[in-house]
Amino acid sequence: MPMVPHPRTYAFLIGFGSDGKVFTKMDPFNGRFSVDGSPTVPEIIIPADETVFSHYPRIVDCRWFPSSGVYPITYTFELGVKEDRGDRYLDEALDSDLPIPFFMTHFSGAQRGRFRVRARNRIGQSDWSVYHHFKFTV
């Protein structure tokens, strides 16, 4: 599967009412802007935390709001698989140079998993996003 989803540019939208007042505003960064050019922490959109999947093959579509900051920005995607016993996850960075806020992966089995992302540009890198957990059933 190609890694690039439908290509589009980042756009800002401001809606004005007939009285000239702003009634809506939208931005690609979900209202989070960098103040010094370093990348903001990515905010995960899907899958929602604690989602339970039952489909096969076990493809997981992961997306997040793009980070604000000096472009170009790349992303590191980390995926974790929960061990059979205990609460430990085996985490692995699957890609560390993603140019887009999107990653699709095949998950290993009917078990729990988690993922997180961070952004990087020439100024530095963001903190990791919060983990989003998911589970595949048989």
On whether residue 118 sits in a domain, the answer given is: yes
Structure tokens at 35: 């103040």
Give the integer Cα–Cα distance in Å for 67 and 49. 20
Per-residue pLDDT tens over the stretch 21-78? 998 888 888 888 999 999 999 999 999 999 999 999 999 999 999 999 999 999 999 9
What CATH code is carried by the domain that includes residue 92?
2.60.40.10
Q: What is the pTM of this model?
A: 0.84
Structural domain range at position 105: 33-136
pLDDT band with cut points at 50, 70 and 90 for residue 85: confident
Residue 57 lies in a domain: yes
CA-wise closest residue to 48 among 137, 138, 110, 130 = 130
Residue 86 — pLDDT band, cuts 50, 70, 90? confident
Q: What percent of the chain has pLDDT over 90?
A: 64
Q: What is the DSSP letter of 111?
A: S
**What three-state secondary structure class fits 104?**
strand
